[in-house]
Amino acid sequence: MNSHLMPTYNRQPVTFVRGEGARLWDTTGRVYLDALSGIAVTGLGHAQPDISEAICDQAKTLIHTSNVYGIEWQAKLADKLAEISGMSSVFFCNSGAEANEAAIKLARLFAHQKKIENPQIIVMETSFHGRTLATLAATGNPLIQKGFEPLVGGFLRVPYGDLAAIEQLAAVHDNITAVLVEPVQGEGGVRPAPKGFLRGIRTLCDQHDWLMMVDEVQTGIGRTGRWFGFQHEEGVLPDVMSLAKGLGNGVPIGASVAAGKAAKLFAPGNHGTTFGGNPLVCRVGCTVLNVIERDGLLARASDLSTRIRAGLIAGFQSEPAVLEVRGLGLLIGVVLDHPCGELVRRALDRGLLINVTAGSVIRLLPPLIMTDEQADELVSTLVALVQDWVAENTAQVTD
């Protein structure tokens, strides 16, 4: 690869030059099945015609002005996000980490307005919130923090799913201002929140006047079969929600969405961005939401999830190395009994794009528009791949 690029990634030895739907083509013309969607980004698939058209038309009309002027598409996208989330105000930025930065700033502002000094945000073990200084401190993964100390302070950590641990913190700290949680931990190993966890957090936040902040960067925009992951649990409306990834289908856009007491916290001068929410990305965001609605892709994501998970469970039923198939909607994890990072390369050799997270969890993030035939291809390729790999390893052990 190019020696003038900083080596921040261990890149796979392939370069894609073209895509269509759930298919990608590399520089040699070889075709691949994309079960990763650029890590939960291209939910509508590659070269989706409505998206391409929106980008081309807006590029010929107006790409950027500034947030010191009115931006029609920004207002439209904010209206639409408010409608589908039940929340009320939006700040647009360019990435998931930035959306979480805005959330963290909102939480601190909320505390300072109540004269709380040194406010603390409760975050989870094995969480992921981004790579900026504040979001890597919020992230529950020492590998991501190592080498970047001193870490930004103001975070208290509890095990994911442990409501009692949050209550214990509430009993000893009087400066807690918010809880930040993912509805499903994606990077952390595709762990869905235990039933009742989000509602329990909502209740505690109401009791203690904290902000409930959900990081829906990976789970949002239809990925789980509902617009947002929190909508799988009745009676839960967060105060702050972070979005990015799927919102732009590939154009860089993030959003921090707020409701109730969080909706009016930022005043002029508190926060800002040069690029965030420009006419181009906001028009694309509107198009993404319209296409999901028009084409019934929330229901489609649920149906595809059922099909893929049933296929995987059947395929792996007599494979003891596979401990569990879990997830929510089209965020699917196949948990193996030992580290399996090398499967990413092996899948690539078979023309399939997947990912491995938390060492031993195969992560699948297929686009919402994948066809039934492609879903079946994904299942059969993956089942054969894992079985061959396990058989090879077992053979080596007994040799």
Ligand X SMILES: *Cc1c(COP(=O)(O)O)cnc(C)c1O
Stretch that binds ligand X, among 106-114, 196-204, 213-221, 321-329 (CB under 6 A): 213-221
What are the respective helix, strand and coil percentages of the chain, to the nearest 5?
Answer: 40, 20, 40
Q: How far is the CB of 60 from ligand X (least distance, A)?
A: 27
Report if residue 229 touches ligand X, rule: CB under 6 A: no
Q: Which of 110, 197, 245, 266 is catalytic?
A: 245
Reference 338, options 363, 308, 360, 306; nearest CA is 360
214 in Cβ contact with 185 (< 8 Å): no
Interface with ligand X in residues 243-262 (CB under 6 A):
244-245
Catalytic residue status for 128: yes
Q: How far is the CB of 240 from ligand X (least distance, A)?
A: 13
What is the total count of residues that contact ligand X (CB under 6 A)?
15
Angle of helix 72-85 versus helix 279-294 axis, rounded to 10? 40
Out of 19, 21, 45, 96, name the contact with ligand X by CB under 6 A. 96
Q: Which of 128, 228, 230, 316 is catalytic?
A: 128
Stretch that binds ligand X, among 16-24, 94-102, 233-241, 257-265 (CB under 6 A): 94-102
Q: For the chain, give me the number of helices (H) and strands (E)?
A: 12, 17
Nearer to ligand X, 215 or 311 (CB): 215
Stretch that binds ligand X, among 42-50, 93-101, 198-206, 369-377 (CB under 6 A): 93-101
Burial class (CB within 10 angstroms; exposed 0-12, middle 13-18, buried 19+) of 314: exposed
Q: How far is the CB of 187 from ligand X (least distance, A)?
A: 6
Q: How far is the CB of 306 from ligand X (least distance, A)?
A: 23
What is the C-alpha separation between 129 and 137, in angstroms, rounded? 9
Catalytic residue status for 215: yes
What is the C-alpha separation between 347 and 321, in angstroms, rounded? 17
Encoded tokens for 42 = 């291209």
Encoded tokens for 149 = 């100390």
99 in Cβ contact with 255 (< 8 Å): yes
Q: Which of 34, 155, 197, 215 is catalytic?
A: 215
Angle at 159 between CA 154 and CA 164, to 5 degrees: 95
- As a residue count, the chain comes to 399
Nearer to ligand X, 90 or 97 (CB): 97
Out of 119, 161, 183, 186, name the contact with ligand X by CB under 6 A. 186
Q: Using H for helix, E for strand and C for coil, what is the string for 260-283?
A: HHHCCCCCCCCCCCCCCCCHHHHH
358 phi and psi angles, rounded to 5 deg: 55, 30
Q: How far is the CB of 184 from ligand X (least distance, A)?
A: 9
Q: How far is the CB of 67 from ligand X (least distance, A)?
A: 19
Question: At residue 399, what is the residue type?
Answer: D
Report if residue 85 touches ligand X, rule: CB under 6 A: no
Question: At residue 370, what is the residue type?
Answer: M
Binding mask 156-185 for ligand X (x = CB under 6 A): --------------------------x---
Q: How far is the CB of 135 from ligand X (least distance, A)?
A: 7
Out of 37, 48, 58, 218, name the contact with ligand X by CB under 6 A. 218
Nearer to ligand X, 276 or 315 (CB): 276
At 363, which helix (H) or strand (E)?
Answer: strand 361-364
Q: How far is the CB of 185 from ligand X (least distance, A)?
A: 8
Nearer to ligand X, 145 or 387 (CB): 145
- The single residue listed with the structure tokens 């799927």 is 246
Binding mask 97-136 for ligand X (x = CB under 6 A): x--x---------------------------xxx------
| Residue nearest ligand X, Cβ-based | 96
In sequence order, which residues have a C-beta less than 8 Å from that of residue 208 and are 6 or more positions away? 170, 176
Q: How far is CA 232 from CA 141, 184, 200, 302, 344, in A?
A: 26, 11, 14, 12, 30
- The single residue listed with the structure tokens 């509902």 is 226
Nearer to ligand X, 136 or 334 (CB): 136
Residues that bind ligand X (CB under 6 A): 95-97, 100, 128-130, 182, 186-187, 215, 217-218, 244-245
| Catalytically annotated residues | 128, 215, 245
